Structure 1
Amino acid sequence: MAKGHRSQIKKERNAQKDSRPKARVTFVRLSSTKANIVLDQIKGKDVNTALAILAYTPRWGARVVEKVLKSAIANAEHNMGMDASTLYVDEAFSTKGPTLKRIRPRAQGRAYQIQKQTSHITVVLNAR
């Protein structure tokens, strides 16, 4: 249990916060495995190369990741005053979100369950 006044506890907690620019989109109707295929292509690349790769990737998930990457770049420029030409993709990952369960009627009164996966996509940038 932390001791001290609430403002001191908050100050200590905020000092440990990650200062890298990032963007996150939650509850995307895309499975995390499909998102990770796209995210693995841009890890470690500078942002201009990553945007070029995503522009020519024919997967639907690439459009979603492209929006998240552009948001992270805007966060870096606007909130932290960083130069976009020095940024690169430090981390890019997708975690599993809640599953939407749907019913498909089948023959003889049976019902099959359809599970529609969702995911949370995070892109973290850093400066070289």
Structure 2
Amino acid sequence: MQARAVRRHIRSSPLKMRRVINLVRDRSVPEAVAILDYMPQKVTGVVEKTIRSAVYNLMDQHDERFDEGALKLKEIRADEGPTFQRHQARARGRAAPIRKRTTHLKVVVAVEEEAPEEAAA
């Protein structure tokens, strides 16, 4: 069982977002949230909200509560969104471009399957 949450048009660059999500990729949900709580980056709040949204989507889809320790981040991805183009005035009447980048964040949470124990030969 898995569920996803998507957050689009986040006003932060994908590179800044990827620095954060690379630290929590392939971890359990409580471990990922604990790591995000102690990181100073601004985008950690957005990432944590999206992870929690995916967990609640999973509980809502299957009408049951799951132990958060059994949930794992199956996929977390930061893709590039649209870029706002602005210009800043420079010397001699010229203009320099300013690129305000946005990010689309996708989180997939799945119930961690227990590996079957091998039978003794």
Question: Given the two structures, how large is their TM-score scaled by the length of structure 2?
Answer: 0.86
- Deviations for 1:5-38, whole angstroms, at most 9, x for unmatched residues? xxxxxxxxxxxxxx62110100111111111111
Higher relative contact order structure (alpha carbons within 8 Å, sequence separation ≥ 6): 2
Counterpart amino acid of residue 38 in structure 2: Y
Determine which of 17, 20, 25 is the counterpart of 1:38.
20
Gaps of at least 5 residues in structure 2 are 113-121
Tell me which stretches of 4 or more aligned residues in structure 1 moved more than 2 Å. none
Question: Given the two structures, how large is their TM-score scaled by the length of structure 1?
Answer: 0.81
Gaps of at least 5 residues in structure 1 are 1-18
Q: Kindly tell me the number of residue pairs found equivalent between the two proteins.
A: 110
Indicate the RMSD between aligned Cα atoms, in angstroms: 1.2
**Larger helix percent:** 1
Fraction of identical pairs, as percent: 33
